[in-house]
Structure 1
Amino acid sequence: MAPDAVEFDGSSSSFKKVCVMGAGGCFGSALVHHLLQRGYFVHAAVNTQVEMQSMNADGKNLRVFHTDPLDYHSILKALEGCYGLFYSFEPPSDQPFYDESMAEMEVRAAHNVLEACAQTDTIDKVVFTSSASAVIWRDPSDSSPSSSDVDERNWSNVNFCKKFKLWYGLSKTLAEKTAWALAMDRGCFCLRSILCFNHVVNCNEDAVKLAKMLLPPDVSSLTQYYSRGEQDGVTKNKQQEAQQAHG
């Protein structure tokens, strides 16, 4: 849970101070626990007073901050004196499902957080948690070759996400693109993006909730579109093979 990306040499305690944003979520809270076990001093940044009260800040190595990812100054306060940041976006509790406005919010949050990192002299490394949805949504009609393998060169098709209202995928794609663009522009810290599963599924209701978040309102239109795209792709491949055979 605590990647080697934030390991470092040196005995100064200041180099073991890291911030976890989104510490109130299942991923963030587990990460805080593991970092404390490994001897880190942790600034746990949470979004609500309820999350703040639920964090056990009795230990001397943990400080809890109430931050708003849309409030630049609250982010700066949580980052103060930290060497690294683990960032995971947690949507507001009153907006459990993604929509177009949530996509805009997540992009603004990513920009604020990375800009705050650039303005914090002690920040050297940033781990930005991402999602497979930032790479999997591709239009089957694209000219690029279809492949089940994806890497850092692949992105979900933004227009495709908008067309089928894949707001979760759109949010993750645009937020990560924003983070990388700002990191490359500032060049004052090392950014790493990792894929993670940030949702716990313990029952059928959890699975339904996750599916509603990941999929568009009209799933049938998406499956029909993909089916047509696959059929067109098969026909195109057969035509190319026939041309090569007669060439």
Structure 2
Amino acid sequence: MGRFDNKVAIVTGASRGIGLSIADRLVADGAKVVITARKEEALAEAAKSLGDGNAVWVAGHADDEAHQDETIAKALEEFGRLDMLVNNTGINPVYGRMIDVDLGAAEKIMRVNVISAVAWAQKAYHAALKDCTQENGGGGIVNIASIGGTKPAPNLGMYGTSKAALIHVTQELALELGPDIRVNAVAPAVVKTKFAGALYEGREDAVAATYPLKRLGVPDDVGSVVAFLLSDDAAWVTGQTLVIDGGLTLTGGV
């Protein structure tokens, strides 16, 4: 028996990288998943990799309300229920000082990284998660934040601000939705994905040397922790942000 047998999850931004690793771990533990991202072809390949009958996909923009509604409806249509939500989608289209940031880009970052996470939680809750009770196993939400949301970092000001806001959203939702739905977050350091490539490509050994564990993260490092937070193994954990950083913050780095 898997710990997520008969459970259904939505994982946003899951055509590759951290999102796909999360979906893969949930499936390995017995869940059915609905994965989202922008590109249909990449999603189709990702769903195929998760095994026949384990996953369906819906393409669209994470901050589009019609896409959110369609995805939740797909989960209920295909699998008959929804127990878990992972808000993984995030963007960072700018790099540089906050004092010079384009305000249109800043607004987009906040809309995708924060407001859409709230929207997904609202829609999932009112459509299905509100029916998850402690007696029937409860429900769970995990938001993918960043260590950039725990302290300032040069040239990542708006991204870090959005992730700090997401951490606060996590705490607020945990207060509101307990005891039946637990809400937590994870805050990874640099994970080897296409999204984070600019932070390590061409100098991975030098970057990794600054971490006490002497390596960068890989998507499975995050997927396993998200699965833990959604599982009964974390039944008394809510409103927390678990840092996954190979020890980087112990050195004062971010």
Q: Which residue of 2 aligns with 1:168?
A: 159
Q: Which residue of 2 aligns with 1:108?
A: 115
Give the superposition deviation at 1:181.
2.6
Give the superposition deviation at 1:111.
1.7
Compared CA separation, residues 201 and 51, structure 1 to 2 (3 A): closer
Q: Which residue of 2 aligns with 1:192?
A: 184
> 1:88 and 2:94 equivalent?
no
**Where in structure 1 are there 5+ consecutive unaligned residues?**
1-5, 139-160, 212-247
More moved, 165-174 vs 50-59: 50-59
SS in 2 for 1:119: helix
Q: Which residue of 1 aligns with 2:171?
A: 180
Show CA shifts across 1:85-134 (max 9, x none): 1221232xxx7436412332222212211211221224621111211111
Q: Which residue of 2 aligns with 1:141?
A: none
> 1:76 and 2:69 equivalent?
yes
Q: Which residue of 2 aligns with 1:217?
A: none
Instruction: Give the root-mean-square deviation of aligned CA atoms.
Output: 3.4
Give the superposition deviation at 1:53.
3.6
1: CA distance, partners of 2:165 / 2:185: 13
Q: Which residue of 1 aligns with 2:23?
A: 32
Q: Contact between 2:8 and 2:84, CA under 8 Å: does it hold in 1?
A: yes
Compared CA separation, residues 36 and 182, structure 1 to 2 (3 A): closer
Residue type of the alignment partner of 2:151 = I
Q: Contact between 1:118 and 1:186, CA under 8 Å: does it hold in 2?
A: no
Q: After TM superposition, which residue ranges in structure 1, 4 or more long, deviate above 4 angstroms?
A: 208-211
**TM-score scaled by length of structure 2:** 0.56
> 1:62 and 2:82 equivalent?
no
Aligned length: 173
**Where in structure 2 are there 5+ consecutive unaligned residues?**
96-104, 133-138, 204-254
Larger radius of gyration between Structure 1 and Structure 2: 1
2: CA distance, partners of 1:136 / 1:55: 33
Identity %: 15
**TM-score scaled by length of structure 1:** 0.57
> 1:132 and 2:129 equivalent?
no
More moved, 179-188 vs 36-45: 179-188
